[in-house]
Amino acid sequence: MIEFSELSQRIWDSKYRWREAGVVRDATIQDTWRRIAHALAGVEQDGGWEEKFYAALGDFRFLPGGRIQAGAGTGHNVTLFNCFVMGAIEDSMPGIFEALKEGALTMQQGGGVGYDFSTLRPAGTPAQGVGMIASGPVSFMRIWDSMCATILSTGARRGAMMGTLRCDHPDIEAFIDAKRDGNEFRNFNLSVLVSDAFMHAVAQDDDWALRFPIDGPVHKQVNARELWRRIMRAAYDCAEPGVIFIDRVNRGNNLAYCETIHATNPCGEVPLPAYGACDLGSINLTRFVEQPFTPGARLDLDGIAHTAAIATRMLDNVYDLSHFPLPQQHEVARASRRIGLGLTGLADACIMLGVGYGSEASLIFAEDIMRTICLSAYRTSIGLAREKGAFPLFRAQEYLQGEFVQSLPQDIRQGIAQCGIRNSHLTSIAPAGTISLLANTVSSGLEPVFAYNYLRKIRQADGSLQELAVSDYAWRLFRNQFGSQVALPPGFVKASEVGAEAQLSMQAALQKHVDNAISKTVTLNEECDFEAFVSLYEQAYRMGLKGCTAFRPNPVTGQVLEEMEKQCCSLEREAD
């Protein structure tokens, strides 16, 4: 029997267990795995894949995104994609409300949404043809926030939205301060689209022009460094907005030859074009650690590569099985067949192997893992192209000139030239928070372990919250093996013991093998100095990261989680 803790049982029962008209159809977690495997194998021409898919899901080795787990094989009219970036918002009243309707329909089927509000004219400018004055993008964002709260006001799944605005939009200052009121925009994550030109202006202490549209007249000039510090002060005081280095995102996009990106999914790990979709899954590294806590402890990289290959095929099949809330999403998503295969349980795997998270050894270890996943996924996708055809937007010469593709081994680039590739993008590291709880509370994504024991409020199927004691998987495994009196070995490292620079270094080590992006929140102590906070974001830019979000406990958002001896706050919003 697999370990299935009370918390895991509750997560499964409230979020992923199949019920039909009140009748339970998934009697056990194995039934859920069988349902998913059977559904995803159903799009294959050849038999035998169902058992391979089932084996990959077994014992929580591979964790597909939450929408796949909840919807595959149920026959429900839902999307299997966690999130979407929506279309450009037309700068007119009909355009704004059409975009709102599209978002509502997408969220109704279970998808989180990302929007770029930079297309809306700034507050105080004339609305041509109607004799009115525009109220600006921040004002209209309130309508989206209310819509999200209304559509997803009950149930175990919370709403999730990303809102972005260009750093040169005339309303950028209002956007930066939008979440200072703790009651505003609670269904949004916010990020500023920061350009290379802006970062250069910050470094030179130059003036910075705010203009609308992007090539339009200058509305006003501000000091770039002062604007940058205003972004930093808001992030320091209330944890948002985050920062997306948008030029770097577009330069590194495998499809830079045919699309431009202005937004990401709600947690930031998948930059997407208008109507693009997130197709996510995470390999649970704890299941590949052999002889944990012993001198012979090792990681089965061959097993990870094998699982990555199977998972790549499973995620590709999602495109042929899923419903799409909007026809535009169907068209855009299938044109690229993006997937985002990543990892979770990294910190627990480090602990089990005696490698201190944040150490130089841990960075080498993590990069080896992500390289293994990436190369296996790319080789599998080439094989899928040979078998089923390349993604429709594939143009060999231009694709092979891509910045990320150029970094791949020669055999992969030759394979792409000869056979094409099935998926435009293949790797991403998501927060994996809820699915990591499902998998017996392994550490989430690439994050360090928050605490070994803490309290967490879990949202039930009826929308209510229940508080449960939570213990980290690696800690629990060690205590079961060695008892409660044995001192924890040095490999046990908590987030509070990992410096900000080490966290950034981990993100940078993994990003070398991630063609989408990484969802990472740098956790800081409340006492963190503001100048050190600013320096952290500037270091992230110098290190070549695609974005940065840091969390410092503050009066607006409080703590993300609390250790058991402290007061606990509610479960954070996540597009599971």
Under 8 Å between Cβ of 332 and 391: no
Under 8 Å between Cβ of 435 and 344: yes
In three-state secondary structure terms, 299 is strand
DSSP output for 13-66: IIII--EETTEE---SHHHHHHHHHHHHHTT-SSSSHHHHHHHHHGGGSEEE-H
* Mean pLDDT, the chain, whole residue set: 93
Give residue 555's pLDDT band: very low, low, confident or very high (50, 70, 90).
confident
pLDDT the model gives residue 565:
34
At 344, phi and psi to the nearest 5?
A: -145, 165
pLDDT the model gives residue 370:
98
Task: Return the closest-CA partner of residue 444 out of 373, 502, 357.
Answer: 357
Under 8 Å between Cβ of 206 and 263: no
Task: Return the closest-CA partner of residue 447 out of 471, 468, 430.
Answer: 430
pLDDT the model gives residue 469:
87
pLDDT reading at 182 higher than 90: no
**CA atoms of 427 and 477, how far apart (whole Å):** 29
Average pLDDT on 323-340 reads 97
Give residue 548's pLDDT band: very low, low, confident or very high (50, 70, 90).
very high
Give residue 129's pLDDT band: very low, low, confident or very high (50, 70, 90).
low
Task: Return the closest-CA partner of residue 552 out of 183, 182, 235, 190.
Answer: 235
Give residue 4's pLDDT band: very low, low, confident or very high (50, 70, 90).
confident
Task: Return the closest-CA partner of residue 114 out of 125, 99, 127.
Answer: 99
pLDDT reading at 142 higher than 80: yes
**DSSP 8-state class, residue 263:** E
pLDDT reading at 181 higher than 60: yes
**DSSP 8-state class, residue 293:** T
Give residue 154's pLDDT band: very low, low, confident or very high (50, 70, 90).
very low
Average pLDDT on 547-555 reads 91
pLDDT the model gives residue 269:
97
pLDDT the model gives residue 564:
39
Domain locations along the chain = 83-120+135-144+157-264
pLDDT the model gives residue 132:
84
pLDDT the model gives residue 569:
27
Q: What percent of the chain has pLDDT over 70?
A: 94
Indicate if the alpha-carbon torsion angle 549, 554, 556, 561 is positive or negative.
positive
Give residue 556's pLDDT band: very low, low, confident or very high (50, 70, 90).
confident
pLDDT the model gives residue 566:
33
pLDDT the model gives residue 570:
31
Average pLDDT on 257-268 reads 97
Residue 51 corresponds to which amino acid? E
**DSSP 8-state class, residue 527:** T
pLDDT the model gives residue 467:
84
pLDDT reading at 562 higher than 60: no
In three-state secondary structure terms, 457 is strand
Active site residues: 265, 267, 269
In three-state secondary structure terms, 260 is coil
pLDDT the model gives residue 558:
67
Give residue 459's pLDDT band: very low, low, confident or very high (50, 70, 90).
confident
Q: What is the pLDDT of residues 43-71, one digit of tens each?
A: 999 889 999 999 999 999 999 999 999 99
Map tokens 């930059």 to a residue: 271
pLDDT reading at 160 higher than 90: no
Global pTM reads: 0.96
Average pLDDT on 562-573 reads 36
Task: Return the closest-CA partner of residue 109 out of 82, 143, 88.
Answer: 82
Give residue 157's pLDDT band: very low, low, confident or very high (50, 70, 90).
low
Burial class (CB in 10 A: 0-12, 13-18, 19+), 435: buried
CA torsion 449-450-451-453 (nearest 10°) is: -100
Under 8 Å between Cβ of 66 and 160: no
**CA atoms of 85 and 262, how far apart (whole Å):** 9
pLDDT reading at 487 higher than 80: yes
